[in-house]
Amino acid sequence: MIWVFALVMGVGVAAGVYLAMSRDLFRMVVGLSVIGAALNLLVFASGRLDSAAPPIVPTGAQVLVDAANPLPQALVLTAIVIGFALLCFSLVLVVRLMRAADTDDAHRLRAAEPRNDDDIKPPVEKV
């Protein structure tokens, strides 16, 4: 089981990094979120993966035997929610930015950096 997780995580992070390094803004934010999804698996795997039994003490028993670790599941739920919020924000941001700037190429996004027509002196900004 742990090997399947490791493999999926590795592939996920590799695909995410590949996308995140793209100049296409849309691919970039989706890539970041794919890395996030792969790392959520890491959080999940940080407990044990060897059991799927619910962590409930049976009636009459005093100790819990062979149960799944519930804490990473709670953590990963939080991480998924946060990652989802960030993905939504970034998608809206990228769509608005692509419309406003009329480009989806990261290299052509220079509005916050004024055009530099002098090699030595720093540019003068309008605002």
Which residue among 117, 118, 119, 125 contacts another protein (CB under 8 A)? 125
Nearer CB in complex with another protein: 53/108: 108
Measured CA distances, 50 to 4, 10, 86, 93 (Å): 12, 20, 31, 41
Residue where the block lists tokens 């795997």? 45
d(CA 88, CA 49): 30
Question: Angle CA(38)–CA(42)–CA(48) in degrees, nearest 5?
Answer: 145
Determine, following the binding rule CB under 8 A, whether residue 4 of this chain makes contact with another protein: no
Name residue 120's amino acid: I
Which residue among 12, 19, 29, 104 contacts another protein (CB under 8 A)? 29
Number of residues that bind another protein (CB under 8 A): 39
Determine, following the binding rule CB under 8 A, whether residue 112 of this chain makes contact with another protein: yes
Determine, following the binding rule CB under 8 A, whether residue 80 of this chain makes contact with another protein: no
Binding site for another protein (CB under 8 A): 20, 25, 28-29, 32, 35-36, 39-40, 42-43, 45-47, 71-72, 75, 78-79, 82, 85-86, 89-90, 93-94, 96-97, 100-101, 109, 111-113, 121-122, 124-125, 127
